[in-house]
Amino acid sequence: MSGDTTTGPIVVAVDGGGSKTDAVALSLDGTVLAEARAGTSSPHVLGMDGAVALVGDLIRELLAATGPRPLAAANLYLSGLDLPAEIADFRERIVGTPWADATIDNDLFALLRAGTGEPDAVAVVCGTGINCVGVRSDGAVVRYASLGTISGDWGGGWHLGERALWYAARAVDGRGQPTVLAEAVPAALGLPSVQAVIEAIHFGRLASSELSRLSPIVFACARDGDAIAAGLIDEQAEEIATMAVTTLRRLDLLGRAVPVVLGGGVIGSRDERLLGTVERLLAERAPLARMELVTAAPILGAALLALESAGASADAVETARSTLTERPAAVVH
């Protein structure tokens, strides 16, 4: 944590993903004054009260580090704020705080800004879960509920882990094809067998959210030649490309050179099969689109948006970009 002795206004930015939440305070010249980090702030995991409390604690930590300075802007971007009602609920719960007038939205907007400043763009995040947003210069926005299978979504670390266990279970009982996932899945979870994993989840000894830990195992097994694991990677690539191309089509941007920003821990693994397949599918279905991989943590985008909200100069924005680009994004190894 670092501080500053001046008294000028500051901006605060928060980016909350499925596994961690980053927060940063900056002066209006783009200097990073303080940083803080915590676990997930998703209201789908913590509940809305828990999400508000965690974000509030991070912001108070930043304000304590920077001293009594005017707050020019606060921009909060959280995974799990997928519906207008969720954003409104979060806003109602911060009434009376110094950041009550904050810009509040889904964390995809931070990822999008981290990857591009262009007015026509699409972003897909594939981390613990999967989501997509598209924007157009006239203000049109395409977004998705991203509530899992009930809203037509599939993908991200949790779904990859769930499917890995599904295939492992069927391999063990004879309903499915052989796969090394039958050994790799229980080993990754520290249990002796697939049956032990099934029972641990069923009886509540193992949270189903722990299945997201299996995502790196799927990638490793695919690289070692396992056909089932490779098929899961191809399925994930198909979903990423489908979301991007569908969004471009809904915005009437298929015929234009538009950046498709990709980020999140699963994408950040830089798996050759995954990214190569996404790139091929985009070339086939949206040939003018260009794939942009975000290597910096999405807090970069949240910080740039906060500075721009406060009317900071282009030089200040570039100063912040230069500093925060060094913060690596989360990666699935």
Per-residue model confidence as pLDDT tens digits over 43-68: 988 999 999 999 999 999 999 999 99
pLDDT reading at 175 higher than 60: yes
Per-residue pLDDT tens digits for 286-316: 999 999 999 888 899 999 999 999 999 999 9
pLDDT cut 70: percent of the chain above it: 96
Mean pLDDT of the chain: 94
- pLDDT at position 56 is 97
pLDDT reading at 5 higher than 70: no
CA-based R_g, the chain, Å: 21
Range 234-240 average pLDDT: 98
- Domain span(s) for CATH 3.30.420.40 in the chain: 10-107+298-324, 115-295
pLDDT reading at 192 higher than 80: yes
Residue corresponding to tokens 């089932």:
228
pLDDT reading at 332 higher than 60: no
- Which amino acid belongs to residue 221? C
C-alpha to C-alpha distance for 115 and 124, rounded to whole angstroms? 11
Residue corresponding to tokens 């298929």:
254
C-alpha to C-alpha distance for 91 and 99, rounded to whole angstroms? 10
pLDDT reading at 326 higher than 90: no
C-alpha to C-alpha distance for 16 and 31, rounded to whole angstroms? 21
Q: At what angle do helices 194-202 and 181-188 cross, to 10 degrees?
A: 50
Q: Is 185 exposed, middle or buried, given 0-12, 13-18 or 19+ CB atoms closer than 10 A?
A: buried
Q: What is the dihedral of CA 249, 254, 257, 261, to 10 degrees?
A: 30
Per-residue pLDDT tens digits for 238-276: 999 999 999 999 999 999 999 999 999 999 999 999 999
C-alpha to C-alpha distance for 15 and 11, rounded to whole angstroms? 14
Instruction: Tokens for 172, please give them.
Output: 């063990």
Is pLDDT larger for residue 238 or for residue 17? 238
Q: Say yes or no: domain 115-295 is CATH 3.30.420.40.
A: yes
CATH number of the structural domain 10-107+298-324: 3.30.420.40
Question: Are the beta carbons of 296 and 112 closer than 8 angstroms?
Answer: no
Band of pLDDT at residue 7, cut at 50, 70 and 90: confident
HEC assignment per residue over the chain: CCCCCCCCCEEEEEEECCCEEEEEEEECCCCEEEEEEEECCCHHHHHHHHHHHHHHHHHHHHHHHHCCCCEEEEEEEECCCCCHHHHHHHHHHCCCCCCCCCEEECCHHHHHHHHCCCCCEEEEEECCCEEEEEECCCCCEEECCCCHHHHCCCCCHHHHHHHHHHHHHHHHHCCCCCCCHHHHHHHHCCCCCHHHHHHHHHCCCCCHHHHHHHHHHHHHHHHCCCHHHHHHHHHHHHHHHHHHHHHHHHCCCCCCCCEEEEECHHHHCCCHHHHHHHHHHHHHHCCCCEEEECCECCHHHHHHHHHHHCCCCHHHHHHHHHHHCCCECCCCC
pLDDT reading at 3 higher than 60: no
- pLDDT at position 329 is 62
Is pLDDT larger for residue 329 or for residue 183? 183
Question: Are the beta carbons of 109 and 305 closer than 8 angstroms?
Answer: yes
Q: Look at residues 125, 118, 127, 157 and name the one whose alpha carbon lies nearest to residue 143.
A: 125
Question: Are the beta carbons of 81 and 90 closer than 8 angstroms?
Answer: yes
Read off the pTM: 0.90
